[in-house]
Amino acid sequence: MHRMHISFLLAAGMATFALWGCGSDPSSVEEIPVPGDDDSSSSSISSSSKPSSSSTKRSSSSQKTSSSSAISSSSTESIKLTDKDFIDIGGQLWTKRNLNINVEGSRCYKDKPANCEEYGRLYTWSMAMNIDTAYDQKEHGKITEPHQGICPDGTHLPSHKEWQELYEYILLNPEVKTYFATQTGGIYDYDDGYKNMNYETVYWSSTEYDATGTGYPFHYAWLWAFRANLSIDFDNSHKTSAVNVRCVKNDTKIDLSTPFVIESSSSSGEFQPDAETIQIGEQVWMTKNLNIPVEGSFCYNEQEAYCEEYGRLYTWSQAMGVDRKFDTEKLGPIDTPYQGICPDGMRLPTDSDWKTLYNTLVNAPEYKDYFMNQMGGVFDYTGKFRSVDEECSFWTSTEYDATGTGFDFEYAWLWAFHKDKALVTDNSHKITGAYIRCIKAE
């Protein structure tokens, strides 16, 4: 199987790469395929690497931050949090949104205030801790936990241990991930500037990292990254990097035995098994088009409102979660079932899966309605948006061999539902922008 892995690069010149920085435990980190290209598939904030630059993102996140969020102010004293500002995760209460307190020296992505409203502000470690900036380059030493930092009264900056406890809970309740990936506002890298908007959001912990012997003994602290494709990483990073902050309510702790309850008013827009699937014959399909803002995906007519209404448009490589070069090259045999960018527990359907659905619909045509509820059109290979409210085309994970045509492996199979309830299939250029319906993994 061709998979790209989310990783923090090791020291320049080494032949291998890994997810973890100095002293991290690789057994505790989840690996998930990354959408997008090589330039942006690795976070650039590792303590032991020179970061790589991110490629330009085409689209903005479908999750918007309200400008009236309670977690937005010029001082912690003026912030009054209410129950609606928190999400209960196994008994521990986390703020739902990234902090947007205008601390001196903090940043908005690309220095645009609108990005602070949408994604929250970016802070160096000393800013997040609310201590002298000198501690971005020297040891602060032992702190009393919980440490409030710039978090509102009654909350605190989570320690590395608290993030680890959250991660253990997420392993048992993966739907929690969506609450930490709703504002993928990127980072300000200590050496490479702004990057990775719509790809990741990274959070500080209150815990320093001792890199004694490297020449930079206490220039690092622990942080955690949540990606738009719902993967999670952690590493130690230069304290002068600027990332986001989420806060935890004081005197609350996670109980791993407490199941997570999805809020009925959740705006995560991600997979919720009971609410968003339908069994059709022997198959279980999602009832909505995928709307995960992976790098390079886009909305019909480049208008965010269409993503909310119809889902996002993806090229074949984006749907598969592989390097974009495979939009014009042969990927080759894959292990099936193949997840692609579908949520955990779901997968990208094969051409055979769609044929099975077609045969079922012959005898149960009423189920076509579940695939005609978001007729979002298509972005064809010539670069034109067309057919909104007339059709909806869906990718398969199956390539088409056009050897001898001059376009050997530039095609893959897709299926289209039309307004007149016709269901057709054809091979299409992989650079076409089409939708995704995921099917439950066996």
CA separation for the pair 43, 230 (Å, rounded): 14
- Rounded CA-CA distance 342/365 in Å is 26
Cβ atoms of residues 323 and 4 within 8 Å: yes
241 touches 27 (CB < 8 A)? no
d(CA 394, CA 288): 12
Spatial distance between the Cα atoms of 270 and 341, rounded to a whole number of angstroms = 12
Res. 288: pLDDT tops 90: yes
User: Which tokens belong to 307?
Assistant: 């993503």
Q: Which residue has the tokens 């067309």?
A: 386
**pLDDT score of 68 more than 60:** no
> What phi and psi, each to the nearest 5 degrees, are found at residue 188?
-115, 105
pLDDT tens for each residue of 309-363? 999 999 999 999 999 999 999 998 898 889 999 998 899 999 999 999 999 998 8
Task: Give the distance from CA 302 to its chain's centroid.
Answer: 20
pLDDT digits (tens, 9 = 90+) for 362-393: 888 888 989 999 999 999 999 999 999 999 99
CA distance 372 to 308: 16
For residue 230, the 8-state DSSP code is S
pLDDT of residue 421: 83
- The residue whose two tokens read 């005197």 is 251
Residues 219, 238: contact at Cβ < 8 Å? yes
Q: What is the pLDDT of residues 252-265, one digit of tens each?
A: 999 999 988 755 43
Name the band, by pLDDT with cuts 50, 70 and 90, for residue 402: confident
Query: What's the DSSP call for residue 67?
Result: T
Report the candidate in 347, 316, 286, 298 with the shortest Cα–Cα distance to residue 32: 347
- Predicted TM-score (pTM) of the model is 0.51
Question: Apex CA 318: angle with CA 276 and CA 180, to 5°?
Answer: 55
pLDDT of res. 363: 86
Contact indicator for 179, 191 with CB cutoff of 8 Å:
no
Q: Which amino acid is at 430?
A: K
How distant, in Å, are the alpha carbons of 68, 306, 317 from that of 327?
41, 24, 6
Question: Residue 298, SS3?
Answer: strand
In terms of residues, how long is the chain? Answer: 442
